[in-house]
Structure 1
């Protein structure tokens, strides 16, 4: 197996992981930013105030995006398994 093929497989795996994790990370970032702004304006420095809304928002996005995530991961896995017989040893 050549180095270019290994790099290509790793690149595809990383891009798929970023594609699947991207919506969850974006929501966590957005909610964290809003909560941090709220804490700065009200001077409330409670740690759970930041954690609980992020947890709820990520859980909601995860439930909504789960079918799409499974479709992306299934497509990647299927393409990977189909390409295995054509890979040189």
Structure 2
């Protein structure tokens, strides 16, 4: 394995990390924004409402996205091992 392959695999690994974490980050940001908007409209100042909503949304997102993320990471690991052996 030469230097260019290592750079390419590192770049692919960073992109894969971004893609696998993106659904959770987007859901957490969206729910946080929505809850903050509702709290601003209703003048609620309780922080636990936002945290509980984000916790539930992120947990559901993790449960739904985990098979896809695990498959993507597993496929990448297989390609890395095939490249390292070849």
TM-score scaled to structure 1, two decimals? 0.87
Q: What residue in structure 2 maps to residue 9 of structure 1?
A: 9
Give the SS at the match of 1:23. Answer: helix
Tell me, in whole angstroms, the C-alpha distance in 2 between the residues paired with 1:16 and 1:31.
Answer: 24
Q: What residue in structure 2 maps to residue 61 of structure 1?
A: 61
Alignment partner of 1:79 is 2:79: yes
Deviation at 1:5, TM superposition (A): 3.1
Q: What residue in structure 2 maps to residue 52 of structure 1?
A: 52
Deviation at 1:36, TM superposition (A): 0.7
Q: What residue in structure 1 maps to residue 36 of structure 2?
A: 36
Question: Runs (4+) of structure 1 moved beyond 2 Å?
Answer: 4-7
Residues 8-27 of structure 1: pairs in structure 2 closer than 5 A? 8-27=8-27
Give the superposed CA RMSD.
Answer: 1.2
Tell me, in whole angstroms, the C-alpha distance in 2 between the residues paired with 1:6 and 1:70.
Answer: 22
- State how many pairs are aligned: 85
TM-score scaled to structure 2, two decimals? 0.90
